[in-house]
Structure 1
Amino acid sequence: MTTYMLEVSLIWAVFYLFYLAFLSRETYFEWNRAYLLGTLLFGLVLPLLPEMPAALPATPTHWLEPVVVGLGALEGTLTTVPGGAPSGGAGVDWLVVGYLLGAGVSLAAFLRGLWDLRRLRRCSEVRRRFGVEWVLTPRYHLPFTFWRSLFWSREYHLSPEDFRRVVRHELAHIRQGHTFDVLFLEVLRVAFWWNPVIHLYRSALGLQHEYLADREVLRSTRKQPYGHLLLRQSMSGPRFALANNLFPSHLKKRIVMMTRNQSGKAAWLKLLLVLPLMALLFYSFTRESAPQPLPPTPEWVTDTLPDKIFRVVEEMPRFPGCEDSGLSGKDLERCSQKKMIEFLMARLKYPREAVEQGLEGLVVIKFVVDKSGEVRTPELVRSVHPLLDAEALRIVDLMPEWVPGKQGGKPVSVQYMLPVKFVLPKQLPGDEVQARSSDEKAATLEVERFQVGPNPAGDRLFVELEAPAGDYQLGLFDTNGQVLAVKALSGYDGQRLKMEAFDLSRFPVGTYLVQLRALDSGRQIVRKVVRQ
């Protein structure tokens, strides 16, 4: 939510600066009003649009998702976040508290304004005049309108000519629906009370309302007497916040605009400039970040195999397990990727000798999925140490046959790169570096129930657990492999437990991993959750 509000604010700021530089001094008041309202809506919607796929690098090579191996065989790097000490419970997010307090004050002021209007109406005499509701109030104030009602004080007296001018001005507010704009801005001001741009928008839109109403008056009266009326009455009484008043601020700008000549056709070109600006913002906020370009390579390479080995083909090979799922396209690719990660994480282990020597690092394995689906010729592209290199090669050798890739409808051989990162934990609470025998395999923790939710999640993440009694540890990881939070479940009694596990409000929108690990056996189970 924080990211969304900041993106909205940035879009509004760009559009407001464009208005200030190119449109604020033009006399196309209807278009200026439409521009201000339209860009507010555009800013609210644009960050919600899905991202468009970015263009592939000029020389594509297919890299598999990195697999990161810790002592618990978790898909995540077991390193602590600097300055982010793990906590056993969720702390108070003062940023959220401050925002809610400000929004509450703004909402209270908005509701108070509506309540004041209701009270004033209830103690007033309501008539039908000039085709609108004429609310004759007992207290002194300047004339104003709200929806289809014109509020006029019994104590407010004008000459017949000035009376006609004021009424014409207020009727213009009603007939052009300016109250809708006012309420729309007030609602946005409640949600974005902290953002100065929304207050600038509110002021600019109110000024366009006055320009429009002034123009209606000037159709039937001269500028000089109307300007004198504005000057005489500008400081003559109180005004209501949620209403269109005859004499708001910006009096000097209104008088200047009344004396300005109508903008020429060249001013339309300024309005047209907003189209490339909107296109640029749309492109910037909906385009995915392009992948890092890789060193130049040909589309295919020769190897010890008799066939061409492609790097990218029309239909990439798939890890088996999703053929009967009924999925297709991207969903099928995601399912295949998930099956491969599950296969690797269930079998990868940290060699005992490597743990004792404190060895860690990134190993990169190159292998080929041939046209029959068999995994062939695994070899090291990047080495760290023979112990870690051997484990990475071993897991590639264990892979089953894939669904082969196709180019032009025919099966072909395709080359892959598999990064495997070995990382040791750094003093995680309750973690002990336990050496395991070379034939021990990391196994999935078997529990009756382990659910995280809601998914997608907001600011709070809950865990529902039913497992054998014992000592457990919950961990929250991001997809870059950093430990974001850890919570100990010591002395769990085996009963069904539902608890608030982590506070996500301080983390950005994205995908996270939640790990439940048994401290006695090191077995673990992982769930994926999306924060939005």
Structure 2
Amino acid sequence: MNNIINYFVEANICLVILGTFYFLCLQKDNHHRFIRFFLIGSGFLSVTLPLINLGSFMTEQSTNGSGVIKSIQSTFILPELTIFGSAGKRSLLYILNSYNWLHILATLYLLVSVVLITIFFFQICQILWLSKTKKAFKQDHFTFILTDGQLPTFSFFKLLFYDNSIKLSDDEKQKVIDHELVHIRQKHSWDIVFYELIKTMFWVNPIVWVFKLRLKYTHEYLADEHIIQKTSKEYYSHLLAKITLNQMSLGLAHHFNKSFTLNRIKMMNTPVSKFKTWKWITLIPIVTILFISISCNDDSASEATEAMSTAHQREVPKELQSELARLQQEYPEANFTYMETDADNEESMIKFKNLDPESIGYIKKYEDRGMIGVIVNQNGQLKKIAKATNLPDDEVFSIVEEPAMPEGGYENLYEKISQIIKYPLQARKKGIAGKVFVQFIINENGLLSDTKVVKGIGAGCDHEAMRALNAASLEITWKPALERGVKVKQKLILPITFALDDNDNNQSSINIDEVSNSGESQIKLDIKHDGLTVYGTVMNKEGKPLAGTNIIIEGTNQGSVSSIDGSFKIKLNTPKDKLIFSFMGFQTTSYSLEKC
């Protein structure tokens, strides 16, 4: 999906830049042939230039020099889950965040595109159907079709529809036919179809609509320009006014009768402005800059490939293994390879010097062997590779091509959490409400780990949110994230909102049986330790395991959760660390090695 987004953004940037040039320099220009060339060229460049960069996007995910597959950690925020304080209001509220909006907007965008492409094909079918149902005559280079007043005069490719119900002289009829023949000979219909297809892809960009409309106007101006070469402007203007009628809309066709008849008459009587060469010369650096800026990544990659053609790829020497590991950690998306080339080989050295310095991670010269070893990134410049794990918390996190997904979808995960989570009594008594952001990682095996609160509200809500997520994940299998077909780690953030209404601030309205921490039930522990590693089982007073018990090292965000059989294992940082065991409906219990 990232490839599609990149293409979409780059294509629209091209359209905007070329559109800006049009509005500044060409909007009032009446050199219609050059305007047509510019409009078609702008559409073609906008669609094709971004494709040049797709080669680097398609680079196959491969193992690096040490045989370790790259692990990419991306982070995005999940839909929000809201927990209400009152038992009667225990429902889920899904608040769509940037991730959901992205997919919803993409779906809506595609729906509009489907509608536009459907209309496009419907219009084509409509014209073809009309050509079969009306009286037609085959000519040398086109088909002449009489509409008997049911349709206006227009042309589409080699089909010329003529409204024979209008009373015109033979000379006037010929002028109308000659006008449409200009459209057919100059293949104007291809231009319209081309821009209709562009419109279905980039309909959100107003430049596309402006260019398409101006192109149709330009076609009419070109046809008029051809006619008035052999006919007086006054005579032809009178003819245009005479046959201007109400007509059905056939968006793909070239109508002789257009709503801008007055503009056409005005354009015919406007002297052709002096051709200003500087306008078109200005296009050269604009197109060049667009080409270079979009394709520069591929240039770097091709330079590396060319250099490798004269070098020898080898396994990374032992003395460079640590350097390669450092580079892989610093640039997780880079595709590093190690090469050696003869320092005395002039051809090899020339190609090595042409390498982009920003793509080289490390160089070592072996004086004893007369060789030069290079660790180079085949994907291009290292400085352009963003390390997702280094993104600050307040930035928008990257999204992998296929994000991690719980079994049954997020609705199933949220349903599990809603069944487990309890609104802490302490928070309800104090009237504390707000949003807790729980961060966690789904690794390549689909296992949840590294759960921690990155922003919380306290009063037991932070620990309860972590406990509920960990407990729910024990009952759900996760499908790991995919990036370029490879299973990768993904960092996610789950916002859980604890919400109170006015009645929740009144202690008498609290369902004590539901959220009580008063201590009638106690957690029973069967604990052993091996050095700083503590392990054992968490149970209730009847000896039944308590799955999902939250276990935290006091004063830290480090912790764990008991499994389905109540077992757990956690390593302390120091012998003085204290473990806090909490489970809703049970009295919080602590444990430390010093008590043993």
Match of 1:260 among 270, 278, 283: 270
Is the CA contact 1:140–1:154 (under 8 Å) kept in the aligned structure 2? no
CA displacement at 1:459 relative to structure 2: 5.9
Deviations 1:306-341 (A, max 9, x none): xxxxxxxxxx9xxxxxxxxxx767995998999768
Amino acid at match of 2:35: N
Aligned twin of 2:198: 188
Contact preservation (8 Å) 1:140, 1:237: no
Name the counterpart of 2:282: 273
Contact 2:147 2:164 in 1 (8 A): yes
Asked if residue 25 in structure 1 is aligned to residue 34 in structure 2, the reply is no
**Which residue of structure 2 lines up, in the alignment, with residue 285 of structure 1?**
294
Counterparts of 2:181 and 2:281 in 1: how far apart (Å)?
Answer: 31
Which deviations, in whole Å up to 9, do the C-alpha atoms of 1:82-138 show, x marking residues without a partner? 677799xx9682012101110111012112111211221221111024742101124
Aligned equivalents of 1:173, 1:250: Cα separation in 2: 17
| SS of the residue 1:101 aligns to | helix
Letter of the 2:205 counterpart: N
Aligned residue pairs total 353
Q: Map 1:148-187 to 2 at 5 A.
A: 148-187=158-197
Superposed CA offset, 1:456-500 (max 9, x none): x9667899xxxxxx983499xxxxxxxxxx99974799xxxxx96
1:356-402: CA deviations, max 9, x gaps?
xxxxxxxxxxxxxxxxxxxxxxxxxxxxxxxxxxxxxxxxxxxxxx9
- The answer (yes or no) to whether the contact 1:143–1:152 under 8 Å persists in 2 is yes
1:226-251 C-alpha deviation (Å, 9 max, x unpaired): 11222333343224111011122333
Matches within 5 A, 1:223-238: 223-238=233-248
Indicate the residue corresponding to 2:365 in structure 1. Answer: 405
- Tell me: CA distance 1:136–1:406, structure 2 relative to 1, closer, same or farther (3 Å): farther
SS of 2:489's equivalent in the other structure is strand
Judged with a 3 Å threshold, the aligned counterparts in structure 2 of structure 1 residues 135 and 502 are, in CA distance, closer, same or farther, namely farther
Q: Which residue of 2 aligns with 1:209?
A: 219
Listed as ranges, the matches of 1:353-392 within 5 Å are none
Alpha-carbon displacement from aligned partner over 1:198-250 (angstroms, at most 9, x marks no partner): 11110111111011100111011111121122233334322411101112233
Q: Which residue of the partner structure matches residue 550 of structure 2?
A: none
Q: Is it true that 1:515 corresponds to 2:515 in the alignment?
A: no
The separation in 2 between residues aligned to 1:189 and 1:182, in whole angstroms, is 10
Aligned residue identity for 1:268: T
Kept in 1, the 8 Å contact 2:221–2:267? The answer is: yes
1:7 aligns with 2:10: yes
How far apart in 1 are the matches of 2:223 and 2:238?
Answer: 16
Equivalent of residue 141 in structure 1, options 111, 131, 151: 151
From 37, 41, 48, give the equivalent of 1:34.
Answer: 37
After TM superposition, the structure 1 = structure 2 runs for residues 52-67 of structure 1, keeping only pairs within 5 Å, are none
> Which residue in 2 is equivalent to 1:99?
109
In the alignment, the residues of structure 2 paired with residue 256 and residue 409 of structure 1 have an alpha-carbon distance, to the nearest angstrom, of 80
Shift of 1:186: 1.0
Give 1:61's aligned residue: none
- Shift in Å at residue 172 of structure 1? 0.3
- 1:336 and 1:229 map into 2 onto residues whose CA distance is 84
1:411–1:240 Cα change, 3 Å = closer
Q: Which runs of 5+ in 2 are unaligned?
A: 57-63, 65-69, 82-93, 330-361, 376-386, 394-399, 407-444, 451-468, 492-560, 562-567, 571-596
| Distance (whole Å) between structure 1 residues aligned to residue 372 and residue 312 of structure 2 | 23
Corresponding position: 1:46 with 2:49: yes
Structure 1 residue matching 2:49: 3-state secondary structure: helix
- Give the 3 Å change call, closer, same or farther, for CA 471–218 of structure 1 in structure 2: closer
Letter in 2 for 1:515: K
d(CA) in 2 for partners of 1:271, 1:37: 15
Distance 1:198 1:471, change over 3 A: closer
1:397-446 alpha-carbon deviations (Å, 9 max, x no partner): xxxxx99435898469999xxxx9999xx9xxxxxxxxxxxxxxxxxxxx
Assess, with a 3 A threshold, how the Cα gap between structure 1 residues 341 and 229 changes in structure 2: closer, same or farther: farther
**What is residue 121 of structure 2 aligned with on the other side?**
111
Contact 1:471 1:491 in 2 (8 A): no
Alpha-carbon separation, structure 1, partners of 2:209 and 2:45: 17
Deviations 1:66-96 (A, max 9, x none): xxxxxxxx96679x65677799xx9682012
171-180 or 240-249: which moved more? Answer: 240-249
**Aligned AA (2:145):** V
| In structure 2, distance between residues paired with 1:147 and 1:255 | 25
Normalising by structure 1, what TM-score?
A: 0.54
Structure 1 runs of 4+ aligned residues shifted over 4 Å read 74-78, 80-87, 327-346, 406-415, 420-423, 457-463, 486-493, 499-504, 510-513, 519-522
- Single out whichever of 205-214 and 42-51 deviates more from structure 2: 42-51
Change (3 A) 1:82 1:229: same
Higher normalized helix content (fraction of residues)? 2
Query: Which residue identity does 2:42 align to in structure 1?
Result: T
- Partners of 1:135 and 1:245 in 2: how far apart? 14
8 Å contact from structure 1 (residues 29, 211) kept in 2 = yes
- Aligned in 2, Cα 1:403/1:184: closer, same or farther, shift over 3 Å? closer
Please state whether the residue corresponding to 1:261 is helix, strand or coil: coil
Is there any run of 5+ residues in structure 1 with no aligned partner, and where?
Answer: 54-64, 66-73, 292-315, 317-326, 349-401, 427-456, 464-469, 476-485, 494-498, 505-509, 523-532
Query: What is the one-letter code of the residue matched to 2:28?
Result: R
Is the counterpart of residue 125 in structure 1 residue 100 in structure 2? no
Deviations 1:9-56 (A, max 9, x none): 121122122223323333332222111111111111222224999xxx
The answer to whether the 8 A contact 1:146-1:243 is kept is yes
- Alpha-carbon distance in 1 for matches of 2:249, 2:33: 25
Specify the code of the residue in structure 2 equivalent to 1:31: F
TM-score w.r.t. structure 2 length? Answer: 0.48
| Corresponding residue number in structure 2 for 1:313 | none
CA distance in 2, matches of 1:408, 1:230: 87
Instruction: Please give the secondary structure, in 1, of the residue aligned with 2:247.
Output: coil
Structure 1 residue 197 displacement after superposition: 1.2
| C-alpha spacing 1:491/1:172, structure 2 compared with 1 (3 Å) | same
Q: State the one-letter code of the partner of 1:247.
A: N
> How far, CA to CA, are the matches of 2:366 and 2:238 in structure 1?
81
Matched letter for residue 30 of structure 1: R
Cα offset, 1:252, TM superposition: 3.5
Contact 1:51 1:286 in 2 (8 A): no
Higher relative contact order (CA 8 A, sep 6+): 1
Which range moves more in the overlay, 199-208 or 189-198? Answer: 189-198
The 1:104–1:333 alpha-carbon spacing in structure 2 relative to 1, beyond 3 Å, is farther
Compared CA separation, residues 472 and 6, structure 1 to 2 (3 A): closer
The corresponding residue for 1:472 is 447
